[in-house]
Structure 1
Amino acid sequence: MRSPPCQSCPNPPPSPLQRSRHSAKHMAGTTHRPSKPAKPPHAARRLALRLTTPLASLALLLFATAGVLLYSKTTPSSQIVARSNESGTTASPALSFPTVEAIGGARAIWELPAAPARAVLFVAHGCRCRPENFWPPSPRCPGCVGLPEDVALTAGALRRGFAVLAVASAGECWSLGHEVGGAKRAIQSWTAKNGLGDLPVAALGASSGGYFVSRLAAEMSFAAVVIMISEGAFGPAGAPAGYPPAMFLHMPKDRRRVALLERNMKMLRSSGVEVRELRSLELPLTPTLLSDRIPELDHGLSERIWKIFSEEGFIDERGYMRKDGRATPWKDAVAKRGFWEEVSRWSDHIQEELNLAYGYHEMTSLQADEMFNWIEKHLT
C-alpha cells in the first residue's frame, strides 16, 4: 500500500520511528443564565444617589475594570465566538485553557468545558502531527501550534460540553500494538482522576489516528467513533461484537481510499454496526479564505497570497487548486515576491488550509456540526 500524504503538521520533537509491521504509517453555542429577581423601584434610586460621591464612583470603575480583566482571563475557549464564513467552521478562539501533562508516560493535553462535562472526546492526531495542533498558543501551552481545522474541532467539542483529551503517539505515526492498550489505560485513568469516569466517551482520529481509533474501539467501550480520512484497521476477523457506531469522514478525491472505505463500511454494516458516511469536498481558494479560517491572519495578507496563486496559475479560473497543496510551490512564490517573513509564522496553518481546499487528505472541520450532532445522538 502506498503511504498517504502527510497532513500539514510541523515536525514533532525527534522520536524513533515505529518499525512494527502493524504500524499505521502505511495506512496513512449562547448559554441561558437564570434571570435575577427584579429589584424594587426605590432600590435603583438609592443606588444612583450613593454613586454620586467621587469615592463610590471610583470604586465602581475599579470594580468594573477588574471584572473585565477577570473575564478575559477566565473565559474558556468554548465561550469565545469565532469569526464566520461561508466555508463552514472557522477561525479558532483566541484564548484557551488546556492542561499539559504526562499520562502513563505519554505527553497529553486536555481541557474541560465551561459547564459540567456531558461526555469525553478522545482525539488522535495523524502522522508527523501532535496534540499541540489542537490548541492555540497560550500561557498554559506556549508550545501549542493551533492549526485552524484542529482547533476548530476542539473548540466545537468544548462548546458542546465535551471534555477533550489528546495524547501523543510514541513515534511518528501511531502503532496498532502496545499503544492501543496504553491509550486505553490513559483514557481510563484520566477520566477517573477528573471525575469523568461515568461519562460516555467518543473518539476521533485522522489519518494514522483514524486507523488507531478504529482499532482502539475494539478494545474499549466508545459511544461512537469518527474515522477521518482513513478507512480504518479491522483485521481479518472484522469488527468484534459490540463495536460502536462508526462515522467515516473522508475526501472522495482520494479514490483509492474510497474503495477501501466502501469495503469496510459494508463489512461493519453486515456485522450490525451503525455506519454513517460524510464527504468533505474541495473548496475554491478565494481572496479571503485564508484569513476567514486562520485566526489573526490579516485579510490584506490573505489577498496578496491569493493574488500570487492566481498569477502563478496555482488555481484555475474558478479558484480551485490545480494540485495538492503539498505539491504546490507556493512558499517559493511568496519568497520571490519578498514577503515570506510576513507569511512564515503562518506557513503550517496556510498549508493545512491549502490541503483542505484541494480536498484530498487533510484534517477538516467543515462538517463539524453534522459530526457532533451524530455523536451526541449516541451519548445516551
Structure 2
Amino acid sequence: KTQPHTLILYGQRRMGKTSTLYQLVGGKRGQTIREYPGHPIFPVYIDLQRLAGCDMPEFFARLSQDIVRNLHKRNIRVVPRETWSSNGTLFSEFDAFLDQIEELLPENGLLVLIIDELEQLQESVERGRLSADIFPYLRSLMQHRTRITFILAGTNQLVEDYWSIIFHVGISREIDSLSREETETLIREPVAPMIQYDDLAVDRIWLTTRGHPYFSQLICHRLVSATNLEGRRSKLITIEDVRETINLVIEEDDSHLQHLWNESTAVEQFVMASLAGTHDIGEASVSRAEISARLRETAYGEDAINIGLRQLEVRRLLIRTPVERQIQRRLAQPNGWHPTLISKDYTYAISFDLLRTLCFDLGMDFESLPGQSKPAKAREMVNYWRNRRDVAKLTEAIRVERGNII
C-alpha cells in the first residue's frame, strides 16, 4: 500500500487550527470525511499541552489511552498495555500496540493521529522530560505505517530548521488570515437578513483585523450582542458602532494582544515599538535604515535587530515589503548619465495609515488622490470635500477618529 501523506498545519495562534481539527474528530462538518464510504477514517485528537511534564513511559501510556478511548467510541476494542517500559524497549512496545490497532481497523480504514501544539515536544525535550529520539521515531512512523497517518498542528515556529526532521516528510499548509471577500462573508452571512452591516462598517472591521479570524469574530460577536441586548429598532450596524466596539475590545478583551506582546523577546518588543510608537504611526511602512535609527539608543545591534525582524515576520506580526532603489552615476562621456539598479531593500509595517482609514470611512479611493506624501494626500482630501461643498463630513470623520485634534 501507498504510505498516506502526513499533513502539517501551521499558523498564528487563534487562527482556527484547533477548531478545524475538532470538526474533523467529532464535528458535523467532519462527519462526511470520517464516514466516507469504503474508506473510513478514525481521527484521534491529542493535545500535547495536556502531556506536558510527562516522562517517556507516561507520555506513551497517556497517548495510548487517548487512542483506545477514541477508538472505543467507534466500536473498535483495543486492549491497552498495563505498563510501559522505561528502557530501550519502549518504542517497540508502542509498535506492537499500533500493530494491534491496524489488525482491528476495518478494510481500508485509516487511523489519523492529530497532534496539536506540536512545539510542546521541543519544550519537553529541552527540559529533559522526553528523549530527543522521539523525533526520528515519529518520522519513522510517518514514513512506514500504511494504515496510520498524522496531522500535525502548531505555530509558525514549525518552519524553523529545528523541525526539519519532521516538516520535510509531509505536506505543509499555512493557516493564514481570511481574504477581504472571506472576511465580509464571515461578517454578514451568519446574521443576515435579521441584522445588516453598512459597507463602511465592514470596511472598518477589515482594516482593523486584516482578516484575522479571531479578532474578526470577536468584534462581530460584541456588535451582534449589543444590537440584540439594546433592543434597537434599527438592526443596521454602522461604522460608529464598530468604532465603539473596537475601543471596548482593546480595553476589555485584549488578552490575546497582550499574549502576543508578552511572548515576544525584548528586541522584538523594541522593534514593534519603533514601528508603532512614534509620531509617524500610520505611515505605510518604515525602511530598515529608519528602524536602526529609531533603535540607535538601545542596547541592540544590527544582528539582534535582524533576528527580531525575522521572528516577527515568521509570526506574521510584521509585514516586509521589498523595494528597489536606483542611483545614477555619471559616465565618462559628457552629459552622460546611466541608471544603476542597486540591491533590494525592505520596508516594514505593523499598522494602518490614518488617512487610508479615513478614505475608507468616507467612501473614497486613497490611491486616486494626487500627491505622494501624507501632507500632500491630506491637502488633496480637503480640496476634494471642499469642492463637493461637504467639508463637514470630513471634519466629523476626523473628530471621531482623533477627537483631540478638533
- TM-score tier by shorter-chain length is 0.3 to 0.5
More helix by share: 2
Larger CA Rg, structure 1 vs 2: 2
TM-score between both structures, scaled by the size of structure 1? 0.32
